[in-house]
Amino acid sequence: MKIKIIITNLFILLTLSLSAQSFKLVGVRGINAAEGWDKSVANSVHFDQAGRLYLHFTTFDTIAYKVNLIRHDFTNNQWSRVLAQDIVFAQKVEESDAIGLNDGTSIAVTQQYNSSIGKYFNSMYRISPDGTHNFLGPNPITATLYDFYQGYPAMALAPNGNIYLFEYASSISLSSVHRFTKWNGIQWADLPGLPLADMPRNVSIAINSQGRVYASYYIRGQNKTKVVRLNANETSWEELFITEQADRHEQNPKVHVTFDDEVYLTSYTLAGDFTTGFFGLSHIFKQTANGWVELGNGMRVGPGQSFLKTQSGELYLTGSDVVTIYKYNPSTNTWVPLQNDIQDGQRVSGYRPQLIEGSDGKIYNIFSNGIYLEMTVVQYKPETLSVNDIGTDESDISIYPNPFKNSFNIKLGKALNDGKHTYELLDASGRLIKKDKLSENISANHLEQGVYIFTIKDRNGKMVATKKIIKN
C-alpha cells in the first residue's frame, strides 16, 4: 500500500510538472488600456528587495505629458499606483530613461521640448515608493537649451550610488555637443566626453560591479558600432571593440554588463540588396579573453533588442519585430524560440521589450503590442528552475534581507527543510566560496561587498534553486 501511494504521488507530481505553464500574464494584458492611460511606453522595470515589481512609464495625450510609477502585487496579481497623482510636464516629453533601486525608488531622466522657444532640455527626478517625488539638482540639468536633439539621454547607476548620464545636443549650426556627467548625490560633475571625431549616436551606458563605466555608440559616417570603457581615473576612454557590419544608425546598439561582469554588445544591421530586398539582423557579441565573439549568426528579431543573462548562466534575447523570446543554445551556436504556451494564446514580446530576472529565477518581459499600444508584462518560468521536480512549492524558497550586511535568512518549506539539502555560495566569477548543510540562517561576515550566487542542491547533488544575493 505504501509503495502504491508513493508511485501515485510521483505520477501526480510528474503530471503537474509537465502540464505547468511556462508563460503567464503579470496582471492583465494591456495595462494602460485597463487603467485608461493612453499611448504608454515603458521606461524601466525593476524589483525592490521585497520582491515587488515596479514599472516606470511615460504617457502621451493631447492635453499633457505624464510620468507614472506602478507596482505589482503578486498576491492578487494586480497593479496599483505608486504615485497618487501623475507627474505632469508642461512641455512635450520626447523620451525618458529610468533605473530602479532596491527600495523601489525610480530615478529617471526626461527629455523635453519647449515649443514656445523651440528648445530641448533634460530633467532628472526621483520617485519614492511612498509616491513622493523631487528633481535631482537643477531643472533643467544644464542652463544651456539645445536647438536639436541627436538621440535620447542614457543613464546608469554605479554600485556606490553615483549616476552617470550621457546627453545629446546640437546647435543651430548642426555641430554636435555631447555631455557626459556624473551625479554624486549632491551635484553634477563633468566627465570626459566621447570622441567627437566619431560623432557618436545612440549611446548606451553600463557599469560593472567594480564601478567601471562602459559605453557603446554608432559611429556616424562609418556605419559601425564601437564599445569603449572609461579608465579607472575617469580621465579618458579606452577603445575595446568596433564592429565591421554596416549598422543602421537609427537603431540602438547597446552594451550589456551582466551580474558576473561579462560584457556583451547587441547591434542591428541592414542586410540584403535592392534585388533581393532588405531586412534587419540583430547581432550579439561577447567579450572573451581571445577577443569578441559573435553568438549565433544574426537574428531577425528587429530593433530595440533586449538581452538578459540569468543567474543560472542562460542567455535570452528578444526584439521589437518578434512575438516571442529566444534562448541561446551554446552547443549549436543558435538562438532557439521559446514555446509560447500563454493561456490567452497571444504574443509574449513586442515593441520595445525589456527582459529582467526576478529573485525567484523567473524571467519577466514588458513590451507593447505596437507603438505605444497595449503595454503588457509576462512571466516566464525556465524549466531548469522548476522546483516542482522535487515536490516543493514556489513559496518554499525566500531569501531576506537581500541585499544583506552580515547574514541572511532563508525561508524553507517542508520539502527543503529536511536536513538533506546543501547550499553553495559562489562569487561573481563562479568560484566556490562556501559549501555547507542548508539552514535557515547563513553567516556571511567574511564576504566582501558584491554580488554572489546562492544555490541549493538535493542529496544527490542536483541543483533545485539558484538566487542572486548582494552584500552591502
Q: In this predicted model, what pLDDT tens digit does every residue of 78-127 receive, in sequence order?
A: 888 887 556 666 666 666 778 888 888 888 887 777 777 777 777 888 88
Q: Are 104 and 71 in contact (CB under 8 A)?
A: yes
Q: What angle do CA 421, 424, 429 make, to 5 degrees?
A: 160
Average pLDDT over residues 370-383: 79
DSSP type of residue 437: E
Q: What is the pTM of this model?
A: 0.74
Q: Three cell numbers at 468? A: 542572486
How is residue 247 annotated by DSSP? B
Q: Is the pLDDT of residue 135 over 90?
A: no
The DSSP secondary-structure symbol of 439 reads: -
Task: Label residue 316 exposed, middle or buried (CB < 10 Å: 0-12, 13-18, 19+).
Answer: buried
Amino acid identity at 55: L
394: pLDDT strictly greater than 50: no
Determine the Cα–Cα distance for residues 9 and 3; give it in Å rounded to an integer. 10
Are 440 and 410 in contact, with CB atoms under 8 Å apart?
Answer: yes
The burial of 170, by beta-carbon neighbours within 10 Å (0-12 exposed, 13-18 middle, 19 or more buried), is given as middle
Q: How distant, in Å, are the alpha carbons of 168, 184, 300, 451, 464 from that of 188?
A: 16, 7, 40, 28, 46
Tell me the three state secondary structure of residue 127.
strand
CB proximity list for 418: less than 8 A, separation 6 or greater: none
66 contact partners, CB below 8 Å, separation of at least 6: 58, 59, 86, 87, 88, 89
C-alpha cell at 145: 537649451
- Alpha-carbon distance of 44 to 355, in angstroms, equals 10
Work out the average pLDDT over 450-454.
82
pLDDT cut 90: percent of the chain above it? 22
Confidence of residue 271 (pLDDT cuts 50, 70, 90): low
The better pLDDT of the pair 89, 189 is held by 189
Task: State pLDDT tens for residues 152-175.
Answer: 778 899 998 899 988 776 555 445
Judge whether 403 and 102 are in contact, CB under 8 Å.
yes
* Phi, psi values for residue 457, rounded to 5°: -125, 150
pLDDT of residue 236: 94
pLDDT given at position 1: 42
Report the percent of the chain where pLDDT is more than 70.
Answer: 76
CB 315 within 8 A of CB 259: no
* Residue whose cell numbers read 563605466: 213
Choose among 109, 44, 94: nearest CA to 70.
44
pLDDT of residue 121: 77
Neighbour tally for 23: CB within 10 Å: 20
Confidence at 38, pLDDT banded by 50, 70, 90: low
Place of cell 500500500: 1
The secondary structure of 297-365 as a DSSP string is S-B---SS-EEEE-TTS-EEEE-TT-SS-EEEETTTTEEEEPP---TT---S--EEEEEEE-TTS-EEE
The confidence score (pLDDT) of residue 383 equals: 66
* Separation of first and last alpha carbons in the chain: 53
Long-range contacts of 160-164 (CB under 8 A, 24+ apart): 160/211, 161/185, 162/211, 163/99, 163/107, 163/124, 163/136, 164/191, 164/205, 164/207, 164/213
Mean pLDDT of all residues belonging to the chain: 78
Q: Specify the pLDDT at position 429.
A: 58
> What pLDDT is attached to residue 51?
83
| Mean pLDDT along residues 243-260 | 73
- pLDDT for position 12: 37
Do the Cβ atoms of 26 and 20 come closer than 8 Å?
A: no
d(C-alpha 359, C-alpha 354), whole Å: 16
Q: How confident is the model at residue 294 (pLDDT cuts 50, 70, 90)?
A: very high
